[in-house]
Amino acid sequence: MTVLRIFAALTATCGVALATPASAQFFFQSHDMTAPPISGDEPGQLALPDATPAEVRANLLWNLRSALNVAALQCQFEPTLLNVENYNVMINNHKDELKTAFDTLVKYFNRVNKTPKAGQAALDRFGTRTYSSFTTVGAQYGFCQTASQIATSAAYAKRGELYKVAIADMGTLRNSLTPWGEQRFARRPRIETRVSVPRFDEMCWSKNGEWVSRRCGEFKATLR
């Protein structure tokens, strides 16, 4: 067996063993996070007391923006998810709708508080609470993967219709904050990533690149 043939075989083996999918897949089968559409004032949501329908929608839309912003920051360990890229596209494509939502929230907090200063303080607390509600450690894989899918929908939604993504997917995004593991197998299987390689001692090879069995015995490869 020549060196070139061995090298070609090793290259093919490594390619199969170490190849990564086009997009991140943390489990053989992920938990189904799908939830029905929501309006934004259901239990478990960060509701605004005495909010009008427009303010409820603004709150839901801002929750979507906050969640995808957290994902863009927390999920950079797996760049193939494209959370950062799709978040930036969403911000650019839907800046007018997001600005309207934010302005609506500002008016809400000024309306329900006695002074503009109190309103600003309440808005700041709302922002902190909203962002914090999407911070996760134990459920990071599920959250990042789910956020990636939703960020893609958000990035390419029609302008003026980002709120439809929030209605359709915020329940699913909230579900992804609950930790789940591998769904296909009871225990996550171990995948062998070592490869078989022969000895490369100079004494074992002739000048023509042939294995010299009288010096090194029968040709065989070992796992490394």
- What is the rounded CA–CA span in Å between residue 121 and residue 136? 25
Cβ(68)–Cβ(88) below 8 Å: no
The domain of 36 spans 32-175
CA dist., res. 104 & res. 58, Å (int): 7
pLDDT for 84-122, tens place per residue? 999 999 999 999 999 999 999 999 999 999 899 999 999
Residue 68: Cβ-neighbour burial (10 angstroms; 0-12, 13-18, 19+): buried
In order along its 224 residues, the chain shows pLDDT tens digits of: 555 555 444 454 444 444 433 345 766 667 788 788 888 777 666 678 889 999 999 999 999 999 999 999 999 999 999 999 999 999 999 999 999 999 999 999 999 998 999 999 999 999 999 999 898 888 888 899 999 999 999 999 999 999 999 999 999 999 988 877 665 666 655 666 666 677 778 888 888 888 888 888 877 766 55
Question: Structure pTM?
Answer: 0.69
Record the tokens describing residue 17, joined without a space: 């063993």
Tell me, yes or no, whether 136 and 42 share the same domain.
yes
Q: Which of 174, 139, 138, 152 is nearest to 84 (CA)?
A: 152
Specify the amino acid at residue 117.
Answer: K
Same domain membership, residue 155 and residue 60: yes
Residue 83 lies in a domain: yes
Task: Verify that 104 and 152 share a domain, yes or no.
Answer: yes
Write down the number of H helices and E strands in the chain: 8, 2
Q: How far is 216 from 201, CA to CA, in rounded Å? A: 9
